[in-house]
Amino acid sequence: MREIVLDTETTGLDPFDTPAHRIVEIGAVELWNQVPTGKTYHQYINPERDMPAEAFAVHGIGEDFLADKPRFVDIAHAFLEFVGDARLVIHNASFDMRFLNAELQWAGLPALPDNQAVDTLLIARRRFPGSPASLDALCRRFGIDNSNRTLHGALLDSEILADVYLELTGGRQPDFALGGGTGKNRAEAAETDWRPRPRPKPLPPRVTEEERAAHAAFVSELGDGAIWSKRG
């Protein structure tokens, strides 16, 4: 199954404020059967508006840096082509999906279905009720290195979120048992059902011809009653 772990950075909290807030960065990481493929998507976007100081303090992306970047309408088709019909894995998915669909609407393109997104924030809150569920808090819980995250960045955050998502859904090697079931049951099946495969080529004998002849001479001295002389 193909999944896209995705994050955005924006100029503010609501795309339908006046003036409208816009997306300024998209980062995404591709997973195939919950294994990173190494394929990513990363794009800075000119929001065609100013950058509020509050947003700049979060991600450090300024107006001058974005001045020569493409507009969302210019990258929309490439973004949708990368996403395809893959499941979208997003932390606080309602926020990013609201912005993405606003941008797609303004670009005259169809919206992404809400049920295409999986919210890791909700997954974390169900697994650890009452505990902090921010991306930084989950990194601390799972021992994931986020030391490079001094500011928010869409691609870095999506890479970190991919690690968090794999932990939230059962660990980094979900298919270790190569069989049915999930989690603990799959691991138990691997331990109880495993059988060694036959060697493709037998090991060479470790008894020398001299040792074999000496053993035969010893057995012959014991007579017909020796256990080694019995058959069947």
- The catalytic residues are 152
Q: Are 127 and 155 in contact (CB under 8 A)?
A: no
Q: Are 168 and 124 in contact (CB under 8 A)?
A: yes
At 4, list the tokens. 């896209």
End-to-end CA distance of the chain: 56
Number of alpha carbons in the 13 Å side-chain half-sphere of residue 201: 1
Q: Is 30 exposed, middle or buried (0-12, 13-18, 19+ CB in 10 A)?
A: buried
C-alpha 140/C-alpha 22 separation (Å) is: 31
